[in-house]
Amino acid sequence: MIFKIYEDVANWHRWDPDTKTAQLNPGLALGATGSLTPSKGKTVPIEITAFALNRRFTATSKTLLFRLDFEHELTPTKNGTLILHRARFGGLLKPLLSRLLGPQMD
């Protein structure tokens, strides 16, 4: 049930206040490509670089100077589902991005 919310890419902005718009072709699947416009910032390309139906996916944004992996993971527990969202920075701009965005990620 929860994964269906992730699959509705056009409505990511409803649960993620940092997302203005998002689109993926052909939808949420390994290798799908599209774009994401953050609520503050410019539109960036994204690609689904990891995917396990009903369990997890990673949306990756890459440019010449940085890489940003947004990981989403669902783990069943005896009381429901543990939802983990994690952002990993890489590339030459990693130190700058970590300082600028780090406080927002807490």
pLDDT tens sequence across 22-56: 999 999 999 999 999 999 999 999 999 999 999 99
Model-level pTM?
0.86
For the chain, domains (ranges, CATH) are 2-105 (3.30.530.20)
**What distance in Å separates the CA atoms of residue 52 and residue 38, rounded to the nearest whole number?**
25
Sign of the dihedral defined by the CA atoms of residues 57, 90, 65, 16, in that order: positive
Kindly state the tokens that stand for 63.
């440019």
Question: Partners of 60 in the beta sheet?
Answer: 47, 69
Q: Are 68 and 92 in contact (CB under 8 A)?
A: no
**What distance in Å separates the CA atoms of residue 65 and residue 91, rounded to the nearest whole number?**
6
Q: Are 62 and 50 in contact (CB under 8 A)?
A: no
Q: Are 63 and 44 in contact (CB under 8 A)?
A: yes
Give 44-102 pLDDT, tens digit per residue. Answer: 999 999 999 999 999 999 988 889 999 999 999 999 999 999 988 888 888 877 777 76
**Dihedral, CA atoms, 53, 69, 30, 19, nearest 10 degrees?**
80
